[in-house]
Each structure stands twice: as C-alpha cells, then as structure tokens.
Structure 1
Amino acid sequence: MRYHTHIATSIAAGAGVAIQTDVAFTFPYVVGIAIGSLLPDIDEPNSYVGRRSFGLAKVIKSIFGHRGITHSLLVCGLIFYLYQLYSYEWLFGIACGYIFHVIGDFFSKRGVPLFWPIVRKKIKSPLTYETGKPSEQLIFYIAIGLIIYFLYKYSLYSQLF
C-alpha cells in the first residue's frame, strides 16, 4: 500500500474508533494516526518515511528485511505499551495508525509476518489487493469518502480544534 493510502485508511479507521468509543477525534490524535500509519515502512529505504530516515531505514532493512519485525504484532504491542506508560493522545494515535498500517498490509498480496519472531512466515487475508493497482486506488477513494462521511455525520470536525 502506498503512503497516502495508508494515511487515508488509517484516519478513516481512527474516525471509526472515535465514533465507537470515548476517544476524542482531536488534532493530536489524527496527527498521531498519520505518523503511525507510516512508521512500519521505516524498514524500506525507498518508502516515504524511509527516504526521510537519515539512513535508519537501510540499517533496519539490512537486519530485519522489509516487512519483518516492523510489521509484526510484537512492535504493535510495544507501542501500545508505551501508550499505557505515557497516556498522550498523539501516542494513542501513533499506536492506532501503526496497527492500522499492519492490518492494511495484511490484506496485500505480500502479507505480513504478524507473529514474528516466533513465526517469520508472512500471512495474508484471502481477500487481497495489489499495491499501486486500481484495487488500491479504489481503497484510497473509499477511505477518503468514509473520512468525509464520518466528519459530517458524527460532527467529528468539531473535535479537531
């Protein structure tokens, strides 16, 4: 999934979380989601975040490969644990964006190693999309539509500022 699709789907999912729970759809939460939705790709030097990582992406990829540890439930759990220690809205957003990214890649043809390091095999959903193809573009536009719908249907825009 390309970076803009990760951001859009993660913000749409984050809006869904805000609607279904007592989480406020605030600016720090949404910014956290956007950042968190990009972080798992720190293991790919050519990714949006990897190109801005000052060489860290190359190091992570050389050690773990692309879609290795950064796409596992282990790292997702560690980020949620950090949120438990430091209850900041933006950190909760990062944790949510991170897990939404991993879920998004779970639906890709390449899958993700959810149970790394116990099982390194990449698993995927039976229903998949291919990065950069029309199916991903459709997912992006649906996510944008959902964001707009949620913002107005549930007045989430009033919580942003």
Structure 2
Amino acid sequence: MRYHTHIATSIAAGAGVAITGDASFTFPYVVGIAIGALLPDIDEPNSYIGRRSLGLAKVIKSIFGHRGITHSILASGLIFYLHTMYNNDFTLGIAYGYAFHILGDFFSKRGVPFFSPLSKKKFKPPLTYETGGGAETLIFYLAVIGSFYMLYKYQLYTQLF
C-alpha cells in the first residue's frame, strides 16, 4: 500500500474508533495516526518515511528485511505498550495508525509476517489488492470519502481544535 493510502485508511479507521470507542478525534490523535500509519515502513529505504530517516531505514532493512519485524504483532504490541507509558491522544493515534498500517498490508498480495521474528511466514486473506493498482486507488478514495462522511455526520470536526 502506498503511503497516502495508509494515511487515508488509518485516519478513516481512527475516526471509526473515535465514534464507537473512547478515543477523542483531536488534532494530536489524527497527527499520531498519520505518523503511526507510516512507521512500519521504516524498514524500506525507498518508502516515504524511509527516504526521510537519515539512513536508519537502510540499517533496519539490512537487519530485518522489508515487511519483517516492523510488520508484526510484536512491533504493534510494543507501540501500544509505549502508549500505556505515555498515555495521551498523540501516542494513542500512533498506536492505532501502526496497527492499521499492518492491517492494510495484510490485505495486500504480499501479506504480513504477523509472528516475526518467530516465523517469516506471511499471512494474507483470499481477497487481496495489488499495491499501486486500481483496487488500491479505489480503497484510497473510499477512505477519504468515508473520513469526510464521519467528520460531518458525527461532528468529529468539533473535537479537532
């Protein structure tokens, strides 16, 4: 999934969490979601975040490979644990964005190694999309439309500032 689709789908999912759960759709929460949605790709030097990582992405990729440990339940769990240590809307957004990124990549043709580093086996459902393909473009636009719908239908915009 491309970076803008990760951000759009994660914000839409984060809006859904805010509507149905205890999260507040605040500006720090949304910024955290956007950052968290990019973080798992720190293992790819050519990714949006990897190109801005000052060489860190190359180091991580050389040790773990792309879609290795950064795309696992363990990594997501560690991010949620950090949220418990620094409990605020921003860190909650990062944790949700990170988890939503992994979920988005789960539906891609390449899948994700949920149990890395214990296993390199990648999991994916029967119905998948091709990164950069027409289905991903459709997912992006549906996420944007869904986000705007929830912003106005549930007046989430009133919590932003």
1:111 matched residue in structure 2 = 111
Cα deviations across residues 41-71 of structure 1 (Å, max 9, x unaligned)?
0000000000000000000000000000000
Q: Distance between the aligned counterparts of 1:18 and 1:89, measured in 2?
A: 11
Q: Distance between the aligned counterparts of 2:126 and 2:152, measured in 1?
A: 33
Cα deviations across residues 84-115 of structure 1 (Å, max 9, x unaligned)?
11102100000000000000000000000001
TM-score by length of 2: 0.99
1:24 matched residue in structure 2 = 24
2:6 matched residue in structure 1 = 6
Following TM superposition, the consecutive aligned residue runs of length 4 or more in structure 1 with deviations greater than 3 angstroms are: none
1:38-57 equivalent positions in 2, closer than 5 A:
38-57=38-57
Q: Displacement of 1:126 after TM fit?
A: 1.3
CA RMSD of aligned residues (A): 0.5
2:90 matched residue in structure 1 = 90
Q: How many residues align?
A: 161
Identity %: 73
What code does the residue aligned with 2:115 have? Answer: F
Q: Check if 1:15 corresponds to 2:15.
A: yes
Structure 2: 5+ residue stretches without partners: none
